[in-house]
Protein backbone atom coordinates (compact mmCIF):
# COMPACT_ATOMS: atom_id res chain seq x y z
CA UNK A 1 0.00 0.00 0.00
CA UNK A 2 1.45 3.39 -0.98
CA UNK A 3 1.49 6.37 1.38
CA UNK A 4 -1.65 7.93 -0.13
CA UNK A 5 -3.64 4.74 0.15
CA UNK A 6 -2.43 4.30 3.74
CA UNK A 7 -3.37 7.82 4.87
CA UNK A 8 -6.97 7.64 3.62
CA UNK A 9 -8.16 4.80 5.90
CA UNK A 10 -6.13 6.30 8.75
CA UNK A 11 -7.96 9.61 8.37
CA UNK A 12 -11.29 7.79 8.33
CA UNK A 13 -10.39 5.87 11.48
CA UNK A 14 -9.32 9.03 13.28
CA UNK A 15 -12.57 10.72 12.22
CA UNK A 16 -14.59 7.86 13.69
CA UNK A 17 -12.64 8.03 16.96
CA UNK A 18 -13.08 11.80 17.18
CA UNK A 19 -16.82 11.57 16.50
CA UNK A 20 -17.21 8.92 19.19
CA UNK A 21 -15.32 11.06 21.68
CA UNK A 22 -17.52 14.06 20.95
CA UNK A 23 -20.68 11.99 21.24
CA UNK A 24 -19.69 10.39 24.54
CA UNK A 25 -21.53 11.87 27.53
CA UNK A 26 -19.50 13.91 29.98
CA UNK A 27 -18.52 11.95 33.07
CA UNK A 28 -19.61 13.68 36.26
CA UNK A 29 -17.39 13.86 39.29
CA UNK A 30 -18.67 11.75 42.12
CA UNK A 31 -20.58 13.06 45.10
CA UNK A 32 -19.26 12.04 48.52
CA UNK A 33 -20.83 9.93 51.22
CA UNK A 34 -20.79 12.23 54.22
CA UNK A 35 -22.73 13.88 57.04
CA UNK A 36 -23.38 17.61 57.45
CA UNK A 37 -23.58 18.10 61.23
CA UNK A 38 -22.85 21.87 61.27
CA UNK A 39 -20.10 21.51 63.85
CA UNK A 40 -17.93 23.91 61.86
CA UNK A 41 -18.93 27.55 61.45
CA UNK A 42 -21.18 28.34 58.51
CA UNK A 43 -23.94 26.43 56.77
CA UNK A 44 -21.86 23.78 54.94
CA UNK A 45 -22.95 25.35 51.61
CA UNK A 46 -26.67 25.01 52.33
CA UNK A 47 -28.53 28.04 51.04
CA UNK A 48 -31.98 29.10 49.87
CA UNK A 49 -34.04 32.27 49.91
CA UNK A 50 -35.85 31.70 46.62
CA UNK A 51 -39.49 32.77 46.31
CA UNK A 52 -39.18 34.99 49.39
CA UNK A 53 -38.23 32.20 51.79
CA UNK A 54 -35.59 32.91 54.39
CA UNK A 55 -31.94 31.95 54.11
CA UNK A 56 -30.83 29.09 56.36
CA UNK A 57 -28.80 30.02 59.40
CA UNK A 58 -26.55 28.02 61.70
CA UNK A 59 -27.73 27.77 65.29
CA UNK A 60 -24.91 27.04 67.72
CA UNK A 61 -26.94 25.05 70.23
CA UNK A 62 -30.16 23.10 70.60
CA UNK A 63 -29.67 20.29 68.07
CA UNK A 64 -30.63 16.67 68.71
CA UNK A 65 -27.64 16.37 71.03
CA UNK A 66 -28.87 19.20 73.25
CA UNK A 67 -26.79 22.09 74.51
CA UNK A 68 -23.78 22.82 72.29
CA UNK A 69 -25.08 20.77 69.36
CA UNK A 70 -25.25 23.07 66.34
CA UNK A 71 -27.89 22.72 63.64
CA UNK A 72 -29.32 24.46 60.57
CA UNK A 73 -32.51 26.49 60.78
CA UNK A 74 -34.83 27.54 57.96
CA UNK A 75 -37.72 29.89 58.71
CA UNK A 76 -40.37 31.35 56.44
CA UNK A 77 -43.64 33.26 56.77
CA UNK A 78 -46.27 32.58 54.10
CA UNK A 79 -43.61 31.62 51.58
CA UNK A 80 -41.85 28.54 50.28
CA UNK A 81 -39.69 26.62 52.73
CA UNK A 82 -36.64 25.05 51.09
CA UNK A 83 -32.90 24.80 51.36
CA UNK A 84 -30.51 23.41 48.78
CA UNK A 85 -26.87 22.52 48.27
CA UNK A 86 -24.91 22.72 45.02
CA UNK A 87 -21.48 21.91 46.43
CA UNK A 88 -19.38 19.03 45.13
CA UNK A 89 -20.34 16.94 48.16
CA UNK A 90 -23.98 16.90 47.09
CA UNK A 91 -23.66 16.93 43.30
CA UNK A 92 -22.18 14.80 40.55
CA UNK A 93 -22.59 11.06 40.27
CA UNK A 94 -24.52 9.49 43.12
CA UNK A 95 -24.28 6.16 41.31
CA UNK A 96 -20.47 6.20 41.44
CA UNK A 97 -20.54 6.10 45.24
CA UNK A 98 -23.59 3.83 45.43
CA UNK A 99 -25.58 6.52 47.26
CA UNK A 100 -28.89 4.99 48.19
CA UNK A 101 -30.38 6.86 51.12
CA UNK A 102 -30.50 10.27 52.80
CA UNK A 103 -30.91 10.35 56.58
CA UNK A 104 -31.44 13.46 58.69
CA UNK A 105 -32.92 14.88 61.87
CA UNK A 106 -35.70 17.45 61.61
CA UNK A 107 -37.60 19.55 64.14
CA UNK A 108 -40.62 21.74 63.45
CA UNK A 109 -41.09 24.53 66.00
CA UNK A 110 -44.35 24.83 67.97
CA UNK A 111 -46.74 27.24 66.28
CA UNK A 112 -45.52 26.26 62.81
CA UNK A 113 -47.66 24.70 60.14
CA UNK A 114 -47.18 20.93 59.83
CA UNK A 115 -44.57 20.23 57.17
CA UNK A 116 -44.51 17.69 54.34
CA UNK A 117 -40.82 17.40 53.49
CA UNK A 118 -39.47 15.91 50.27
CA UNK A 119 -36.15 15.58 48.52
CA UNK A 120 -35.73 17.42 45.23
CA UNK A 121 -32.91 16.29 42.94
CA UNK A 122 -32.04 18.39 39.89
CA UNK A 123 -30.24 17.14 36.82
CA UNK A 124 -28.53 16.15 34.74
CA UNK A 125 -27.14 19.27 33.17
CA UNK A 126 -29.88 21.66 34.24
CA UNK A 127 -32.08 22.64 37.15
CA UNK A 128 -35.02 22.39 34.73
CA UNK A 129 -34.98 18.60 35.20
CA UNK A 130 -36.38 17.78 38.63
CA UNK A 131 -37.22 14.67 40.62
CA UNK A 132 -39.14 14.58 43.92
CA UNK A 133 -39.48 12.03 46.66
CA UNK A 134 -42.69 10.25 45.77
CA UNK A 135 -43.68 10.08 49.45
CA UNK A 136 -43.26 12.98 51.86
CA UNK A 137 -42.27 12.82 55.53
CA UNK A 138 -44.60 14.67 57.87
CA UNK A 139 -42.77 16.79 60.44
CA UNK A 140 -45.21 17.70 63.24
CA UNK A 141 -44.98 21.08 64.94
CA UNK A 142 -44.19 19.55 68.32
CA UNK A 143 -40.74 21.05 68.91
CA UNK A 144 -39.10 17.62 69.12
CA UNK A 145 -36.32 16.22 66.97
CA UNK A 146 -37.26 13.26 64.79
CA UNK A 147 -35.06 11.10 62.58
CA UNK A 148 -36.12 10.52 58.97
CA UNK A 149 -34.87 8.49 56.03
CA UNK A 150 -35.42 9.12 52.31
CA UNK A 151 -34.69 6.38 49.81
CA UNK A 152 -32.94 7.27 46.56
CA UNK A 153 -34.17 4.12 44.83
CA UNK A 154 -35.89 4.59 41.48
CA UNK A 155 -39.26 3.51 42.82
CA UNK A 156 -39.02 6.19 45.54
CA UNK A 157 -38.54 9.13 43.16
CA UNK A 158 -40.88 10.83 40.68
CA UNK A 159 -39.76 13.04 37.78
CA UNK A 160 -41.83 16.23 37.96
CA UNK A 161 -40.13 18.42 35.35
CA UNK A 162 -37.98 17.98 32.24
CA UNK A 163 -37.00 14.77 30.51
CA UNK A 164 -34.49 12.04 31.20
CA UNK A 165 -34.11 8.72 32.92
CA UNK A 166 -33.40 7.83 36.52
CA UNK A 167 -29.95 6.64 35.47
CA UNK A 168 -29.27 10.04 33.89
CA UNK A 169 -30.18 11.74 37.15
CA UNK A 170 -28.09 9.50 39.37
CA UNK A 171 -25.06 10.09 37.19
CA UNK A 172 -25.41 13.87 37.06
CA UNK A 173 -27.10 15.58 40.02
CA UNK A 174 -26.56 19.36 39.79
CA UNK A 175 -28.48 20.46 42.90
CA UNK A 176 -29.83 18.74 46.00
CA UNK A 177 -32.79 20.27 47.88
CA UNK A 178 -35.02 19.68 50.89
CA UNK A 179 -38.43 21.29 50.47
CA UNK A 180 -41.91 21.42 51.95
CA UNK A 181 -44.42 20.28 49.35
CA UNK A 182 -47.64 18.34 50.03
CA UNK A 183 -47.54 16.74 46.55
CA UNK A 184 -44.70 15.90 44.13
CA UNK A 185 -44.37 18.90 41.82
CA UNK A 186 -41.81 21.19 40.23
CA UNK A 187 -42.36 23.99 42.77
CA UNK A 188 -43.25 24.27 46.43
CA UNK A 189 -46.17 25.93 48.23
CA UNK A 190 -46.43 28.69 50.79
CA UNK A 191 -46.15 27.80 54.46
CA UNK A 192 -45.31 29.43 57.77
CA UNK A 193 -42.81 27.38 59.78
CA UNK A 194 -39.44 27.26 61.48
CA UNK A 195 -37.59 24.06 60.63
CA UNK A 196 -34.43 22.68 62.23
CA UNK A 197 -32.15 20.32 60.28
CA UNK A 198 -29.16 18.34 61.49
CA UNK A 199 -26.99 15.34 60.65
CA UNK A 200 -27.92 15.41 56.97
CA UNK A 201 -26.27 12.25 55.64
CA UNK A 202 -25.76 10.96 52.13
CA UNK A 203 -25.26 7.25 52.68
CA UNK A 204 -24.70 4.13 50.62
CA UNK A 205 -27.51 1.77 49.86
CA UNK A 206 -27.93 -0.93 52.47
CA UNK A 207 -26.16 -4.14 51.47
CA UNK A 208 -28.51 -6.81 50.19
CA UNK A 209 -29.54 -9.35 52.77
CA UNK A 210 -29.95 -13.06 52.27
CA UNK A 211 -32.78 -15.15 53.67
CA UNK A 212 -30.17 -17.79 54.44
CA UNK A 213 -28.26 -15.41 56.74
CA UNK A 214 -29.91 -16.85 59.82
CA UNK A 215 -27.74 -15.00 62.36
CA UNK A 216 -27.92 -11.61 60.63
CA UNK A 217 -24.16 -11.03 60.26
CA UNK A 218 -24.46 -10.27 56.50
CA UNK A 219 -22.59 -13.46 55.62
CA UNK A 220 -24.02 -16.82 54.61
CA UNK A 221 -21.60 -19.42 55.97
CA UNK A 222 -21.21 -22.59 58.02
CA UNK A 223 -22.57 -20.87 61.12
CA UNK A 224 -25.88 -20.45 59.31
CA UNK A 225 -25.75 -24.11 58.28
CA UNK A 226 -25.45 -25.05 61.95
CA UNK A 227 -28.46 -22.89 62.81
CA UNK A 228 -30.48 -24.54 60.05
CA UNK A 229 -29.42 -28.03 61.19
CA UNK A 230 -30.38 -27.33 64.81
CA UNK A 231 -33.76 -25.93 63.74
CA UNK A 232 -34.53 -28.67 61.18
CA UNK A 233 -38.05 -29.92 61.74
CA UNK A 234 -38.33 -28.07 65.05
CA UNK A 235 -38.48 -24.28 64.65
CA UNK A 236 -38.41 -21.65 61.92
CA UNK A 237 -34.92 -20.39 62.84
CA UNK A 238 -33.57 -22.01 59.66
CA UNK A 239 -36.43 -20.93 57.40
CA UNK A 240 -34.98 -19.36 54.25
CA UNK A 241 -37.95 -19.64 51.90
CA UNK A 242 -40.60 -18.10 54.10
CA UNK A 243 -42.80 -21.17 54.55
CA UNK A 244 -42.51 -21.10 58.34
CA UNK A 245 -40.47 -24.30 58.66
CA UNK A 246 -36.82 -25.34 58.60
CA UNK A 247 -36.59 -28.08 55.99
CA UNK A 248 -34.58 -29.40 53.05
CA UNK A 249 -35.67 -26.62 50.74
CA UNK A 250 -34.04 -24.10 53.08
CA UNK A 251 -30.75 -25.96 52.84
CA UNK A 252 -30.88 -25.53 49.07
CA UNK A 253 -31.26 -21.74 49.54
CA UNK A 254 -28.27 -21.76 51.91
CA UNK A 255 -26.26 -23.80 49.39
CA UNK A 256 -26.99 -21.31 46.58
CA UNK A 257 -26.13 -18.24 48.65
CA UNK A 258 -23.20 -19.45 50.70
CA UNK A 259 -20.06 -17.26 50.62
CA UNK A 260 -16.84 -19.24 50.23
CA UNK A 261 -13.53 -18.13 51.71
CA UNK A 262 -11.41 -18.73 48.63
CA UNK A 263 -12.37 -17.05 45.39
CA UNK A 264 -13.66 -19.70 43.04
CA UNK A 265 -13.42 -22.39 45.69
CA UNK A 266 -16.86 -23.90 45.24
CA UNK A 267 -17.11 -27.35 46.82
CA UNK A 268 -18.62 -30.24 44.97
CA UNK A 269 -22.37 -30.57 45.57
CA UNK A 270 -21.76 -34.01 47.04
CA UNK A 271 -19.55 -32.57 49.79
CA UNK A 272 -22.18 -29.94 50.64
CA UNK A 273 -24.85 -32.59 50.94
CA UNK A 274 -22.61 -34.73 53.16
CA UNK A 275 -21.88 -31.69 55.36
CA UNK A 276 -25.55 -30.91 55.66
CA UNK A 277 -26.42 -34.52 56.49
CA UNK A 278 -23.68 -34.64 59.10
CA UNK A 279 -24.86 -31.39 60.68
CA UNK A 280 -28.44 -32.63 60.69
CA UNK A 281 -27.43 -35.92 62.23
CA UNK A 282 -25.52 -34.15 64.98
CA UNK A 283 -28.55 -31.99 65.70
CA UNK A 284 -30.61 -35.10 66.39
CA UNK A 285 -28.07 -37.11 68.42
CA UNK A 286 -29.36 -37.08 72.02
CA UNK A 287 -26.88 -36.10 74.67
CA UNK A 288 -25.89 -38.53 77.42
CA UNK A 289 -27.66 -36.37 79.94
CA UNK A 290 -30.87 -36.53 77.93
CA UNK A 291 -30.52 -40.34 77.58
CA UNK A 292 -30.04 -40.78 81.32
CA UNK A 293 -33.04 -38.59 82.03
CA UNK A 294 -35.26 -40.63 79.76
CA UNK A 295 -34.04 -43.90 81.29
CA UNK A 296 -34.60 -42.65 84.80
CA UNK A 297 -38.07 -41.43 83.95
CA UNK A 298 -38.94 -44.83 82.52
- Half-sphere exposure (Cβ direction) of 79: Cα atoms closer than 13 Å: 16
pLDDT in tens, 176-219: 999 999 999 999 999 999 999 999 999 998 777 889 999 888 88
Give me the number of domains the chain comprises.
Answer: 2
The answer to whether residue 265 is domain-embedded is: yes
pLDDT at residue 218, rounded to an integer = 81
For 230, phi and psi rounded to 5 degrees?
Answer: -70, -30
Same domain, 193 and 130: yes
Pick from 204, 239, 259: which residue ends a domain? 204
Please check the confidence at residue 298 and state whether its pLDDT lies above 70: no
Domain that holds residue 227: 222-297
Beta bridge partners of 238: none
One domain for residues 279 and 139:
no
9 within a domain of the structure (yes/no): no
CA dihedral 196, 202, 204, 205 (to 10 degrees): 50
Q: What is the mean pLDDT of the chain?
A: 83
Tens of pLDDT, residue by residue over 216-253, are: 888 899 999 999 999 999 999 999 999 999 999 999 99
Q: Is the pLDDT of residue 270 over 90?
A: no
Whole-number pLDDT of residue 106: 98
Q: For residues 154 and 273, state if they share a domain.
A: no
Report yes or no on 20 lying in a domain.
no
pLDDT in tens, 21-70: 344 344 457 889 999 999 999 999 999 865 556 799 999 999 999 999 99
Q: Are 156 and 150 in contact (CB under 8 A)?
A: yes
Is the bond leading into 124 cis (omega within 30 degrees of zero)?
A: yes
Pairing of strands 157-161, 115-122: unpaired
Amino acid sequence: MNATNFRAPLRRALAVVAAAALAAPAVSTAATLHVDDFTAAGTSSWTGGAFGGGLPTRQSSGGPGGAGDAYLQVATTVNHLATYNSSSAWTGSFAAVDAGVVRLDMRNAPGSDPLQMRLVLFGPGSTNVRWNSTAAHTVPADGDWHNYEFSLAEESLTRVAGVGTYADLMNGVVRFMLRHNPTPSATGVNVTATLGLDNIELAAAAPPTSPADFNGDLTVDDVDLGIWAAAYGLTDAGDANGDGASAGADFLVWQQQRVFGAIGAVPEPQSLVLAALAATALAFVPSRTATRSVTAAA
